[in-house]
Amino acid sequence: MQIDRKARLKIPFQPVPKQDPKERVKNWDEVYLGYDLPTAQLEATRCIQCPAAPCIKACPIDNDIPGALLKLEEGDVLGAAEVFRATNPAPDMCGRLCPQEALCEGDCVVGKVAIPVAIGKLEAFIADQQQAMGGRPIPQLPPPTGKRAAIVGSGPAGLAVAEQLALLGHGVKLFEAWPRPGGVLRYGIPGFKMDKRHIDDQVDYLHQLGVQFAYNVRVGYDVTIDELFDQGFEAVFLGQGAGQGNRLNVPGEDLEGVYMATEFLVRANLPPEELPSHLRQPIESGKRVVVIGGGDTAMDCVRSALRIGAREVVCAYRRSETEMGGREEERRHAQEEGVLFHYLTVPIRFVGDDSAHIKAVRFQRVELGEPDESGRPRPVPVIASDFELEADTVVIAIGYKVEKLLFQTTPDLKATDWGTIATEETGQTSRPGVFAAGDSVRGADLVVTALADAKRTAAAIDRYLGEKKSATA
Ligand code: SF4
């Protein structure tokens, strides 16, 4: 039955049920409980099927959103999943992790007169339903090409490149520095945002495509890129991400109880057996936790701190809420869960007790001045405005950069001025046969942009391997 636009616009927005904040801080389960099928179909029917579909253009991987939602509306959930999967290797993850308000939903035409269609939540619902109905069909693979590619890092970019190359008949082996696969998906994103079974599902699928995995191998240290070529790999993809936390460089940063965000997050929300031996000791829950930073990682840290039993959690940020970089939804969730926000405050010193353990953070108040190189107003210190906050745990979450190791051990691998890997549009680096994409090229960014870059780069690797084949045939 055809439903006209006016009727579609009259359907009210269908929110996704959520865990109550008081309950959810006691567990690591996802905040959103998910749609049921009739509600998801009703929400999908709010899509007015506009021919211009600006949502598609706003999606970094060009998902055919109206096409998928029409199939869901008609009750063809598996058909809807195939539409999303035609362009997106990880619709379950993107549906949960994309900042939809700045991407597809931000450009949704319905959003001009009402709440935009819940594209992300519907994408996640559709992918989850497909998984619950037995998962993706395993395609018939082409005959093996006899070419092998090594993938460094099993985060979003590495998994996506591995999938695409395996589907083209290439031999693929993924090298992961941590004990389990997933990179930032497992070790950076807490379970309350995305259940880790989504990573396991993707890895199971890749196993079925014949992809091999090696864990606890740090490429650049345990094995160099040149040694990978010596082992018979003919192309190497660098997708190790940007995992090294930026330091504040203020006195007292090395006190006991002061953590970098990654260490805090992994020790708080992963079981010891999924961690390297030096990180297996669970974090002791401090009563007063101060997190420095204002992006999504800072929100992950404050909310993780609550879940390991902190009584008071403060997020200290050097600008105002308007300039905060992360998702508004993540901030709202943190506020709902009881996190306190101190804006326009900059840490100037960490204060230790007699046993060199953190006991307080000394802050200075700032006000906003002229824009800096990021375009945001520069925080300007307010004279004689220092104050102290008691803290027995501090977490520094002020952004990430690319580790230097690979540049140090790979001759001729060029870096940009920002310390990321220099590549051409195709992902080709300065070393023949070595490609890179995702956060190691862009700096810390979104899962969906890493996937978009990975798809382009996998196509370039395939061309490169094809040319090598014809050259040696
Ligand atoms: Fe929206 Fe992200 Fe899905 Fe694209 S991948 S449709 S931006 S949620």
Torsion (CA) 185, 189, 194, 199 in degrees, nearest 10:
20
Identical fold for domains 5-132 and 148-243+401-472, yes or no, is no
Q: Does domain 148-243+401-472 have CATH number 1.10.3720.10?
A: no
Phi, psi of 395, deg, nearest 5: -125, 130
98 Cβ inside 6 Å of ligand 1: yes
CA-nearest residue, atom 8 of ligand 1? 120
The atom number, within ligand 1, closest to the CA of 65 reads: 6
Mutation choice for ligand 1 from 122, 448, 453, 455, CB with most ligand atoms inside 8 A: 448
The atom number, within ligand 1, closest to the CA of 88 reads: 5
Kindly tell me if the per-residue pLDDT of 154 is higher than 60: yes
Phi, psi of 334, deg, nearest 5: -65, -40
Q: Which amino acid is at 86?
A: A
User: Would you say 234 and 465 are in contact if contact means Cβ atoms under 8 Å apart?
Assistant: yes
Q: Residue 349: what pLDDT? A: 96
Distance from chain centroid for Cα 349: 31
Q: Residue 128: what pLDDT? A: 97
pLDDT digits (tens, 9 = 90+) for 288-308: 999 999 999 999 999 999 999
Residue 61: CB atoms within 10 Å: 21
Cα-to-centroid distance, 4 and ligand 1 (Å): 25
The CATH label, of 3.50.50.60, 3.40.50.2000, 3.10.20.600, 1.10.3720.10, for the domain at 247-398 is 3.50.50.60
Kindly tell me if the per-residue pLDDT of 473 is higher than 80: no
Q: Residue 373: what pLDDT? A: 81
User: Would you say 401 and 443 are in contact if contact means Cβ atoms under 8 Å apart?
Assistant: yes
Kindly tell me if the per-residue pLDDT of 159 is higher than 90: yes
159 Cβ inside 6 Å of ligand 1: no
Establish how many alpha carbons lie within 13 A of residue 246's alpha carbon, considering only the half-sphere containing its beta carbon: 14
Distance CA 418, CA 421 (A): 9
pLDDT digits (tens, 9 = 90+) for 181-204: 999 999 999 999 999 999 999 999
123 Cβ inside 6 Å of ligand 1: yes
Q: Residue 3: what pLDDT? A: 84
Cα-to-centroid distance, 267 and ligand 1 (Å): 30
Strand, helix or coil at 204? helix
| The two three-digit tokens of residue 249, written as one number | 């460089």
Mean pLDDT of 118-147: 96
Distance from chain centroid for Cα 399: 13
Delimit the domains of the chain by residue range: 5-132, 148-243+401-472, 247-398
pLDDT digits (tens, 9 = 90+) for 316-363: 999 999 888 889 999 999 999 999 999 999 999 999 999 999 999 999
pLDDT digits (tens, 9 = 90+) for 401-440: 999 999 999 999 999 999 999 999 999 999 999 999 999 9
156 Cβ inside 6 Å of ligand 1: no
Residue with more model confidence, 127 or 277: 127
The CATH label, of 3.40.50.1820, 1.10.1060.10, 2.60.40.10, 1.10.260.40, for the domain at 5-132 is 1.10.1060.10
The atom number, within ligand 1, closest to the CA of 95 reads: 8
Distance CA 391, CA 257 (A): 9
